[in-house]
Structure 1
Amino acid sequence: MGAQVSIGDFAVMTSLSRKALRHYHDIGILEPAHIDPYTGYRFYDTSQVDHAHIIRRFRSLGMSIPDIKALLSTDDAGARTDIITTHLEQMEAQLQQTRDTVGALRELLSPVSTPASVTVRHEPELAVWSVSATIDVSAIDDWFMASLQTLHQAIATATGTPTAVVPGGLYERGLFLEQHGSATMFVAAPPSADAPEGIHAEVFPKAEFAVLTHPGGHDGIDRSYAALGIYVNEHLISSQGPIREHYLGGTATDPGRFTATEICWPIFNTIASPERQQ
């Protein structure tokens, strides 16, 4: 035990305010060594200074009160390491999120750039296996992965082996306009195979699209959508049909890891040749 000091001196020694010390007393992580029964004055022991510094440092780093309680209440070095490591991982994730946000904000300082290359592509009829649903935009990521896995498994079963395919998505305008609408995930139908239960076999009609390839994952894809939409409306004739996406780069073992997304914006038939580079 050390010497007992007043709450004022303890505040100076620990950089914790009277309000903070009272709060930590109330929640049971830093109780005074003595409370005068007549005056109610709180006194702390100098041996509690290190304890107080730990609390202040970890609170300044965003550690939760329950985690600090767990950290201070255990003598198990492994348990303490686990608590601190978990918090560090959370901080690293938050830091990466902040970096991503800063990058996105910097990008917004520049106007949407006109894409260097847009392909006008004529897509012939396409026999597909598909999974469709009416969904909210907030649920689209979960639906996307579940539908992709369903189709990937169906293709693997039909062909007898895991097969790399180029999946695609078809998104009605209502999904963008109302944040609620119809979405379809599809793959090219394997030859001479019947669609299994739960999978719809259909034929997409021929259509013409303006196509822009968005590199990497879906981060920043809104800017690619904007660039393509500007180009289509300034140089072509936009159609109000569903938007189509093609997901490139997935493998048989990791179908959800894409290297690029083709955004296909429907347009009215404007050319006789099947393809033209803009």
Structure 2
Amino acid sequence: MGARVSIGDFAVMTGLSRKALRHYHDIGILEPAEVDSDTGYRFYDTGQVDHAHIIRRFRSLGMSIPDIKALLSADDAATRTEIITTHLEQMEVQLQQTRDSVGALRELLSPVRTPALIAVRHEPALAVWSVGATIETSEIDDWFAVTLSTLRDAVATAAGAPVAVVPGGLYDRALFLESQGEATMFVPAPPSATPPAGVRAEVFPAAEYAVLRHSGGHDGIDRSYGALGTFANEHLISRQGPIREHYLGGSLADPTAFTTTEICWPILGTSTPPG
């Protein structure tokens, strides 16, 4: 048992404001040693200083109140270590996200630049197996994973074994404009096979595209779209219609770890890009 101190002295000793101390009292993680029944004044014990420092330090590091409560109530070192380790891992993830955001913001300081390698390409008619849906843009990641798995399973069943495929997607412009629209994922149709229920067989007609390869994951793909669209509208004749993507670099072991997204912007006619 230490000495009784006023809330003012305790605030100076701990770096916690009167408002914070009252809040922590109300939620039960730092209760005063004594509350005067007549005046309502709060008094703390000097033995609570370390406790208060722990709360302030972990709050400054972003730990949630429930986690701090669990940390302070834990009786064994293993539980405390687990709580702190989990929080550290969350901070590392947030730190990487912050670094990625800083990099993206720095990139935005420069105008969109047209990459050197934009190809004008004729895509021949293609027989595919496909799955389509009307989706919200917020749902696209989940839809992508489920639909890709459906198509891969369908092709594997037809071939009698897992087969490496290069999937692609068609995305209606309404998805970009209205945040809801038609999306279709496809794979080249296996020869002499009938698709299972839920998968349709169709033939994409031949079409002309301006094509750009975006390396890496989805991060920064908006810049690639901006560069490709700028090129298509400044040097070619942009055509309305869905945007086509091809996903390259996946493997049987990790089919969703694509290294490159090939973005295909529909155009009218075929011409040689300006040098």
On whether the aligned pair clears a TM of 0.5, the verdict is yes
1:52-91 matched pairs, under 5 angstroms: 52-91=52-91
How far apart in 1 are the matches of 2:98 and 2:260?
24
How far apart in 2 are the matches of 1:87 and 1:73?
16
Structure 1 residue 172 corresponds to structure 2 residue 172: yes
Equivalent position amino acid for 1:165 in 2: V
| Contact 2:127–2:201, Cα closer than 8 Å, also in 1 | yes
How far apart in 1 are the matches of 2:273 and 2:206?
16
| Contact 2:235–2:274, Cα closer than 8 Å, also in 1 | no
Structure 1 counterpart of 2:221: 221
Displacement of 1:246 after TM fit? 0.3
How far apart in 2 are the matches of 1:131 and 1:252?
20
Greater shift in the superposed pair: 209-218 or 169-178 = 169-178
The two structures have a TM-score, normalised by structure 1, of 0.95
Structure 1 residue 121 corresponds to structure 2 residue 121: yes
What are structure 1's unaligned runs of at least 5 residues? none
Q: For residue 217 of structure 1, give the secondary structure of its aligned residue in structure 2.
A: coil
Displacement of 1:33 after TM fit? 1.2
| Contact 2:131–2:186, Cα closer than 8 Å, also in 1 | yes
Structure 2 counterpart of 1:130: 130
How far apart in 2 are the matches of 1:23 and 1:241?
57
Displacement of 1:277 after TM fit? 9.4
| Contact 1:118–1:277, Cα closer than 8 Å, also in 2 | no
Structure 2 counterpart of 1:43: 43
Q: For residue 169 of structure 1, give the secondary structure of its aligned residue in structure 2.
A: strand
* Number of positions where the alignment pairs a residue of Structure 1 with one of Structure 2: 275
* % identical aligned pairs: 76
Q: For residue 11 of structure 1, give the secondary structure of its aligned residue in structure 2.
A: helix
Equivalent position amino acid for 1:10 in 2: F
Equivalent position amino acid for 1:26 in 2: D
Greater shift in the superposed pair: 95-104 or 179-188 = 95-104
Provide, for residues 74-126 of structure 1, a one-character-per-residue CA deviation record: whole Å limited to 9, x for no partner: 11211111111111111111111111111111111100001202111111111
What are structure 2's unaligned runs of at least 5 residues? none
| Contact 1:167–1:247, Cα closer than 8 Å, also in 2 | yes
Displacement of 1:270 after TM fit? 2.7
Equivalent position amino acid for 1:50 in 2: D
Structure 1 residue 211 corresponds to structure 2 residue 241: no
Displacement of 1:37 after TM fit? 2.7
Provide, for residues 122-169 of structure 1, a one-character-per-residue CA deviation record: whole Å limited to 9, x for no partner: 111110000000111111111111110100111111111111110000
Q: For residue 157 of structure 1, give the secondary structure of its aligned residue in structure 2.
A: helix
Structure 1 residue 236 corresponds to structure 2 residue 257: no
Provide, for residues 159-198 of structure 1, a one-character-per-residue CA deviation record: whole Å limited to 9, x for no partner: 1111111000011122112111111000000111111111
How far apart in 1 are the matches of 2:40 and 2:147?
65
Q: How has the CA–CA distance of structure 1 residues 277 and 111 changed in structure 2, closer, same or farther, with 3 Å as cutoff?
A: closer
Equivalent position amino acid for 2:65 in 1: I
| Contact 1:162–1:253, Cα closer than 8 Å, also in 2 | no
Structure 2 counterpart of 1:181: 181
How far apart in 1 are the matches of 2:93 and 2:3?
42
